[in-house]
Amino acid sequence: MSAVPSFDILVIGSGPAGQKAAIQGAKAGQRVAVIERDPGVGGACVYRGTIPSKTLRETALQLERLKRSAAVFECRLRQDAAVSVLMHRLDEVVKAHAAYMADQFARNGVFHFHGRARFLSDRLVEMLSVDGGKQRFTAETIVIATGSRPRIPPEIPIDHENILDSDSILSMVYLPRSLTVLGGGVVASEYASIFSLLGVEVTMIDRAERPVQFFDREIVGQFVQSFERQGGRYCGRQTVTQVRWDGVSQVVTTLADGRTIASDKLLVALGRQPNLEDLNLRAAGLSLTEKGTLDVNEYCQTAVPHIYAVGDVIGPPGLASCAMEQGRRAVCHALGLSVGSMPETIPLGVYTIPEMASVGLDEAAATKQHGAAMVGRARFDEVARGQISGIGDGLLKMVADSAGERVLGVQIVGEGATELIHLGQMALQNGAKIDAFVESIFNFPTLAEAYRVAALDLTGQRRKRAVQARRV
């Protein structure tokens, strides 16, 4: 019998979290192996999630830009356009991304195995190959990064034909005339806004009063306004009692208040479920939380100290950027390297149309944490670039301490929000003062000027407060 290969670090899963963990380990001179259940590197992010949905989103945005130029171009998307046509660049994008990541593994000497992993003990892992073959591995440190898949509520008859989840919706053949989206989270909001912009009549239904609950209320309000102006509809505070295919052409959704909503297709986006059931966690001495996730500390360390868990398997926020940072932190901690104390400055980006992004504390969190907060606002129609580009529905909120001097957080809704947010991130990481934005000169015309406008709004509030204080 051949010897069991031994590694310093064994990563199970090669999505954003696993990939980052593996590369971090390899760069630190460790012998690293990755076991991935899919043939390619990258996980659901590349093949079923982030990359495909963003490719479709890019088409929607191109259409939006053409619409904005209505005075020059007469542009209208075919009502029942084939989805494959709208995602015509997907194959090359996926191939390029997968090739880049495979190359990165190879360059860094990371061993890559294709198969399903399961624990035999806390240090011994068995891999089942797709051809049924088995192989065992041991490792000093094991990182669980197996990701997640769409959660399928038992009461909803998902058939991947008319009632779809966020995996199968991307292989939908033609663009439906109408789409009901169940859920109000990131995935639901992203798809709802993409399809709405593509001309599909979209109805979002969720229990919550507003979508993307963990985001700043005002920012989300702006998103909903844009979504509804585009023709979409958000039905909040609703409970779905039944979803059924009528056997002909419509999916019928019945709400608790008796209303029914009929649509060509229905997307179920009610959260994601961690891929943990095949891992035989008990053999490793691990157990799941009530939510079916793994419990970890701030370093992503599980109850078994040399086993770490990162990405979707530990629960929200389920964003690739956070997952990557978790992968890095886990391995740094395992190797005794400096981890850094910066989790609160990980930016959150939601690729809705318009985009939403956040870093640091939002208005509600700052008020709760510091007793009070001062907020500077800049509407994109107040900056020249916003006017030029016709994207006046954007908003940047700069959250400062109650004195209006120190930056505590930034939230943005509008085109380019997920890029713009990084300026706020750097400000936070360097403890920047509000005045630094006033004193800085930005390129003109750019959307980054919104930072200066928001900072000026804050200094204006400070002055007003000082005047009021003198009067008193």
Partner 1 sequence: MTVGSDHTAAAESTQQVERELIRRIESGAVDLPLLPQVASRVMALTNDPSADAARLSALIHQDQALAAHVLRIANSPAYMPRTPIVSLQHAVAMLGLTLLSEIAFTASLKTGAYQVPGHEADVKQLWRHALGSGAYAKEIARLRRHNVESAYLCGLLHAIGKPVVLKTVAELSKQFRTPLDRATVMTLLEGYHARVGTLIAEKWGLPKQVAEAIAYSACYEQAPTFRQEVMITCLADRLATYLLVPEVFDEHTVRDHPVFADLNLYPNDVDTLFAAQDRILAVVEAMAV
Nearest distance, CB of residue 203 and partner 1, angstroms: 18
Token digits for 44? Answer: 């659901």
Distance of closest approach, residue 85 Cβ to partner 1, in angstroms: 8
Report, in Å, the least distance between residue 197 CB and partner 1.
Answer: 18
Q: Which is nearer to partner 1, 80 or 344 (CB)?
A: 80
Distance CA 360, CA 367 (A): 13
352, burial (CB in 10 Å: exposed 0-12, middle 13-18, buried 19+):
buried
Shortest reach from residue 156's CB to partner 1, in Å: 15
Q: How far is the CB of 432 from partner 1 (least distance, A)?
A: 45
Residue closer to partner 1 by CB (options 90, 212) is: 90
- Give whichever of 171 and 213 is closer to partner 1, judged by the CB atom: 171
Q: Tell me how far apart the alpha carbons of residues 328 and 341 are, in angstroms, rounded to a whole number.
A: 13
Name which of 191 and 451 has its Cβ closer to partner 1.
191
Q: At its nearest, how many Å lie between partner 1 and the CB of residue 311?
A: 19
> For residues 159 and 228, which CB has a smaller minimum distance to partner 1 in the complex?
159
Name the minimum Å distance from CB 219 to partner 1: 32
Residue 66: exposure state from Cβ atoms within 10 A (0-12, 13-18, ≥19): middle
Task: Judge contact between 435 and 401, C-beta under 8 A.
Answer: no
CB of 95 to partner 1, least distance (A): 11
- Are 139 and 8 in contact by the 8 Å Cβ rule? The answer is yes
Is 424:417 a contact under the CB 8 Å cutoff? no
Beta bridge partners of 35: 12, 113
Q: How far apart are CA 350 and CA 359, in angstroms?
A: 12
Of 131 and 290, nearer to partner 1 (C-beta) is: 131
Q: Which residues bind partner 1 (CB under 8 A)?
A: 37-39, 48, 78-82, 84-85, 91, 116, 128, 130-132, 149-150, 159-162, 164-165, 167-169, 171-174, 246-249, 264
β-bridge pairing 6-12 and 134-144: parallel
Measured in Å, how far apart are the chain's first and last C-alpha atoms?
87
Alpha-carbon span 54 to 264, nearest angstrom? 23
Q: Which is nearer to partner 1, 243 or 458 (CB)?
A: 243
- Of the two residues 56 and 407, which places its CB atom closer to partner 1 in the complex? 56
**CB of 46 or CB of 448, closer to partner 1:** 46
Give least dist CB 385 to partner 1, A. Answer: 36
Distance CA 440, CA 136 (A): 57
Closest contact distance (angstroms) between CB of 183 and partner 1 is 17
CB nearer to partner 1: pick between 130 and 342? 130
Please compute, for residue 37, the number of CA atoms within 13 A of its CA located in the half-sphere on the CB side. 18
Distance of CA 248 to the CA centre of its chain: 35
